[in-house]
């Protein structure tokens, strides 16, 4: 999509607008809607929001914020069978967490049920809607194809009086669910399939969470959405591409509703591409299934693509917004690389996450020439990427833990970690040399022995002496146990939605969660960590504190490892194209 540069009122710098923002800016510049800008985000409260919704939210709220407009939050609660207040609350929390607010513009499609019902009655009276007694299968079979016209329902020519009577009795609860529907009488030969007498009302007898048992008929989404936009004075109704063919139908209903007034004001629908991400699914139905069948720990499981899952995983709103900016808004469908999302969270956390030490798979090291009763407090940088982040103290003593993988008795070439006869630096501390190790009957290393060089402390002159490897570590006597949860991708295949012939649950990655119950963390971390706090564990990645933590038992989620394959790939591409 070509991007033009436009100057935005009040913006300090020139920005490159995406095509949606450009359309809105042009409308504002042309003085449409009296210079008013009002968007809306219209979730159905039948699940938790995912990162695809975040793409819509950042557009709907973002463009309003950028150009001095407002954005409504409207719950599209037209299906009482699937909706719940739990979802309503989670949706509000997630939008707020992303940094947006709807102020006093909170709406529910159910508030418009009386007006929509009245409008339906009017259409019936004008001969523009009829009650059809056929089953949904029969109706579908008569739809025709895009190239062949549909077949008229045998009930199409009922009189307005009969239709009115039947529709009112449908609403009074006289008929069973599925036995009758109300259809708009438009054109069974239209080239747009949505115009072939669409169903606009159906019977549902479950109580609605807001309107209770007041209604026995409920409007279809297509009969509620465009009119709701109109009722609220929405100027720009931004949605995803699958609604392109629905747009003429929304315009039709609004025109029927508003008559000539539509020339003064009609919501303008603009469509952009959905977000699809590799190694996950975005379908609310599938996500609900994962939750219901306990294939994940809940909607906020850190492996889920939900906003609450990402939050629990340690994602920041900034990283999500940056990612959405990177992929942009276009007019064609795409599958976006989850590696780019991960790249953005690394960038974000690199700037803000304090550096600490934790040993995930510990093995003990005894520094034999360090006195048993001695301990030192060493000074550690909190974050070299953040000016003024300061330092904290970390204890050092005769016994420490290092990662088991950082020691090899018989190393291959280019192993620059600890090995007999070789030196490494302890991060922020001394250089140590390995003198031997002890093994159990099965040959597992139980202890490593080293000596340290007292003249090599980091931060002193001797600290400049270079050795090939630097290891993270914690003091055995001072460290605290914690639980760490490591995550891998939720699905084992790149595009689970494309594998139509397989049950998507078979495609789950069986190794997406690894729990390490006995991780050794430095005391500073144990003392300062609060739920949702984010840290870089030196050399091991970015971690955040999980709400499952309790006093004395910290639980950490690994947000993401340190290695950024996305950045590397981009660098390579740059080198190739240079
Ligand atoms: P459903 O199948 O239940 O309708 P939905 O994901 O479309 O699922 P809605 O609650 O209707 O859920 O979505 C609210 C808004 O979020 C809509 O405007 C929709 O276009 C947008 N949206 C949903 N999924 C995505 C996605 N993957 N990328 C971008 N926008 C999305
Ligand atoms: Mg939808």
Q: Which of 202, 268, 284, 427 is catalytic?
A: 284
What pLDDT is stored for residue 242 in this prediction? 96
What pLDDT is stored for residue 575 in this prediction? 55
State which ligand 1 atom lies nearest to the alpha carbon of 274: 28
Q: Would residue 44 show up in a list of annotated catalytic residues for this protein? A: yes
pLDDT tens for each residue of 341-365: 999 999 999 999 999 999 999 999 9
Please, where are the H alpha helices in 356-506? none
Of 81 and 255, the one with more pLDDT: 255
Mean pLDDT of the chain: 94
- Look at residue 516 and give its three-state secondary structure: strand
- Of all protein residues, the one whose alpha carbon is nearest to atom 9 of ligand 1 is 43
Q: Which of 15, 32, 36, 44 is catalytic?
A: 44
What pLDDT is stored for residue 1 in this prediction? 41
- Residue 320, classified by CB atoms within 10 Å of its CB into exposed (0-12), middle (13-18) or buried (19+), is buried
Question: If you measure from the C-alpha of residue 411 to the centroid of ligand 1, how many angstroms do you get, rounded to a whole number?
Answer: 53
Mean pLDDT of 141-160: 96
**Distance, CA of 199 to CA of 46 (rounded, Å):** 21
In whole angstroms, how far apart are CA 428 and each of 30, 165, 457, 538? 62, 83, 7, 11
Mean pLDDT of 184-190: 98
**Distance, CA of 359 to CA of 324 (rounded, Å):** 34
State which ligand 1 atom lies nearest to the alpha carbon of 57: 16
Q: How many CB atoms lie within 10 A of CB 417?
A: 18
CA angle (60 as vertex; 255, 326 as ends), nearest 5: 135
Ligand located closest to 44 CA: 1
Binning pLDDT at 50, 70 and 90, where does residue 91 land?
Answer: very high
- To the nearest 5 percent, what fractions of the chain are helix, strand and coil? 35, 25, 40
Ligand located closest to 286 CA: 1
Q: What is the CATH number of domain 358-472?
A: 2.40.240.10
Binning pLDDT at 50, 70 and 90, where does residue 263 land?
Answer: confident
What pLDDT is stored for residue 515 in this prediction? 98
Mean pLDDT of 188-203: 97
- For residue 10, is pLDDT > 90? no
- For residue 550, is pLDDT > 90? yes
State which ligand 1 atom lies nearest to the alpha carbon of 275: 28
pTM of this structure: 0.93
Q: Is 55 in the pocket of ligand 1 (CB under 6 A)?
A: yes
Q: What is the DSSP string of 333-395?
A: ---B-HHHHHHHHHHHHHHHPPEE-EESSEEEEEETTS-TT--EEEEEES-TTSTT--EEEEE
In whole angstroms, how far apart are CA 412 and each of 66, 179, 330, 407, 432? 57, 74, 50, 11, 20
- Residue 441, classified by CB atoms within 10 Å of its CB into exposed (0-12), middle (13-18) or buried (19+), is exposed
**Distance, CA of 497 to CA of 477 (rounded, Å):** 50
Query: CA quadruple 409, 413, 414, 420: dihedral positive or negative?
Result: positive
Question: If you measure from the C-alpha of residue 209 to the centroid of ligand 2, how many angstroms do you get, rounded to a whole number?
Answer: 19
Binning pLDDT at 50, 70 and 90, where does residue 572 land?
Answer: low
- For residue 2, is pLDDT > 50? no
* Domain regions of the chain by residue span: 17-272, 358-472
Mean pLDDT of 197-205: 98
pLDDT tens for each residue of 24-54: 999 999 999 999 999 999 999 999 999 999 9
What percentage of the chain carries pLDDT values higher than 90?
91
- For residue 578, is pLDDT > 90? no
Q: Which of 274, 286, 489, 539 is catalytic?
A: 274
What pLDDT is stored for residue 526 in this prediction? 96
Of 14 and 553, the one with more pLDDT: 553
- For residue 156, is pLDDT > 60? yes
What pLDDT is stored for residue 576 in this prediction? 53
Q: Would residue 284 show up in a list of annotated catalytic residues for this protein? A: yes
What pLDDT is stored for residue 565 in this prediction? 73
Fold held by 17-272: Rossmann fold (3.40.50)
Q: How does DSSP classify residue 89?
A: H
What pLDDT is stored for residue 4 in this prediction? 46
Q: Is 364 in the pocket of ligand 1 (CB under 6 A)?
A: no
Q: How does DSSP classify residue 8?
A: P
Ligand located closest to 243 CA: 1
Q: Which residues pair with 269 in a beta bridge?
A: 237
Alpha-carbon 576 to chain mean position: 33
**Distance, CA of 344 to CA of 351 (rounded, Å):** 11
Residue among 40, 52, 220, 288 to mutate when testing ligand 1 (max atoms within 8 A of CB): 52
- For residue 340, is pLDDT > 70? yes
- For residue 148, is pLDDT > 50? yes
Token pair 């449908």 is at which residue?
170
- Of all protein residues, the one whose alpha carbon is nearest to atom 14 of ligand 1 is 43
Q: How far apart are the first and last CA of the chain?
A: 24
What pLDDT is stored for residue 81 in this prediction? 87
Mean pLDDT of 68-81: 95
pLDDT tens for each residue of 442-469: 999 999 999 999 999 999 998 999 999 9
State which ligand 1 atom lies nearest to the alpha carbon of 42: 14
Token pair 């629908």 is at which residue?
269
pLDDT tens for each residue of 285-319: 999 999 999 999 999 999 999 999 999 999 999 99
Q: Is 240 in the pocket of ligand 1 (CB under 6 A)?
A: yes
Strands 399-403 and 474-475: antiparallel
Question: If you measure from the C-alpha of residue 76 to the centroid of ligand 2, how many angstroms do you get, rounded to a whole number?
Answer: 9
- For residue 61, is pLDDT > 60? yes
What pLDDT is stored for residue 5 in this prediction? 47
In whole angstroms, how far apart are CA 226 and each of 186, 237, 255, 423? 17, 9, 10, 71
- Residue 503, classified by CB atoms within 10 Å of its CB into exposed (0-12), middle (13-18) or buried (19+), is exposed
What percentage of the chain carries pLDDT values higher than 70?
95
Q: Is 310 in the pocket of ligand 1 (CB under 6 A)?
A: no
- For residue 157, is pLDDT > 70? yes
Residue among 47, 56, 72, 330 to mutate when testing ligand 1 (max atoms within 8 A of CB): 56
Ligand located closest to 285 CA: 1
Question: If you measure from the C-alpha of residue 44 to the centroid of ligand 2, how many angstroms do you get, rounded to a whole number?
Answer: 7
């Amino acid at each position: 999509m070509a991007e033009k540069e436009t100057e935005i009122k009040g913006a300090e710098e020139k920005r490159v607008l995406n095509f949606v923002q450009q359309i809105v800016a042009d409308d504002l510049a042309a003085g449409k809607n009296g210079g008013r800008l009002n968007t809306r985000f219209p979730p159905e409260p039948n699940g938790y929001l995912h990162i695809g919704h975040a793409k819509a939210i950042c557009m709907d709220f973002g463009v309003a914020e950028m150009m001095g407009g407002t954005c409504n939050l409207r719950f599209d609660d037209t299906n009482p069978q699937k909706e719940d207040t739990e979802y309503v609350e989670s949706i509000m929390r997630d939008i707020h967490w992303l940094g947006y607010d709807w102020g006093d513009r909170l709406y529910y499609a159910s508030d418009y049920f009386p007006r929509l019902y009245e409008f339906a009655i009017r259409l019936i009276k004008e001969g523009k809607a009829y009650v059809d007694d056929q089953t949904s299968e029969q109706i579908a079979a008569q739809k025709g194809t895009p190239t062949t016209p549909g077949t008229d329902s045998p009930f199409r020519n009922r009189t307005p009086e009969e239709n009115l009577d039947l529709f009112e009795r449908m609403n009074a609860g006289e008929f069973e669910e599925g036995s009758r529907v109300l259809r708009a009488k438009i054109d069974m030969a239209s080239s747009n399939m949505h115009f072939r007498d669409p169903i606009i009302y159906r019977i549902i007898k479950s109580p609605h969470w807001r309107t209770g048992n007041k209604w026995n008929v409920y409007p279809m989404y297509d009969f509620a959405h465009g009119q709701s936009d109109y009722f609220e004075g929405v100027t720009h109704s931004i949605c995803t591409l699958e609604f392109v063919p629905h747009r003429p139908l929304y315009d039709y209903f609004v025109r029927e509703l508003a008559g000539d007034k539509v020339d003064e004001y009609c919501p303008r629908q603009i469509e952009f591409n959905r977000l699809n991400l590799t190694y996950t699914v975005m379908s609310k139905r599938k996500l609900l299934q994962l939750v219901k069948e306990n294939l994940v720990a809940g909607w906020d499981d850190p492996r889920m693509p939900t906003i609450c899952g990402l939050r629990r995983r340690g994602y920041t709103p900034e990283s999500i917004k940056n990612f959405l900016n990177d992929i942009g808004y276009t007019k064609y469908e795409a599958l976006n690389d989850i590696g780019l999302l991960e790249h953005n969270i690394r960038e974000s956390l690199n700037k803000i996450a304090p550096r600490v030490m934790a040993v995930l798979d510990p093995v003990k090291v005894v520094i034999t020439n360090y006195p048993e009763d001695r301990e030192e407090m060493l000074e550690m940088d909190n974050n070299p990427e953040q000016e003024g982040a300061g330092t904290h103290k970390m204890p050092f003593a005769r016994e420490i833990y290092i990662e088991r993988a950082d020691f090899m008795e018989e190393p291959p070439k280019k192993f620059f970690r600890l090995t007999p006869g070789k030196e490494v630096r302890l991060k922020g501390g001394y250089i140590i040399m390995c003198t031997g190790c002890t093994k159990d009957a099965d040959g597992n290393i139980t202890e490593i022995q080293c000596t340290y060089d007292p003249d090599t402390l980091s931060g002193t002159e001797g600290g400049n002496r270079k050795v090939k490897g630097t290891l993270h570590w914690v003091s055995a006597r001072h460290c605290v146990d914690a639980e760490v949860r490591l995550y891998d991708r939720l699905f084992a295949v790149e595009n689970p939605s494309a594998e139509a012939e397989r049950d998507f649950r078979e495609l789950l990655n069986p190794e997406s969660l690894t729990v390490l119950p006995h991780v050794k963390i430095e005391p500073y971390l144990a003392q300062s960590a609060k739920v949702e706090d984010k840290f870089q564990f030196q050399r091991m990645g970015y971690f955040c504190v999980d709400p499952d933590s309790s006093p004395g038992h910290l639980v950490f989620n690994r947000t993401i490892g340190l290695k950024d394959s996305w950045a590397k790939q981009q660098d390579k591409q740059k080198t190739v194209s240079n």
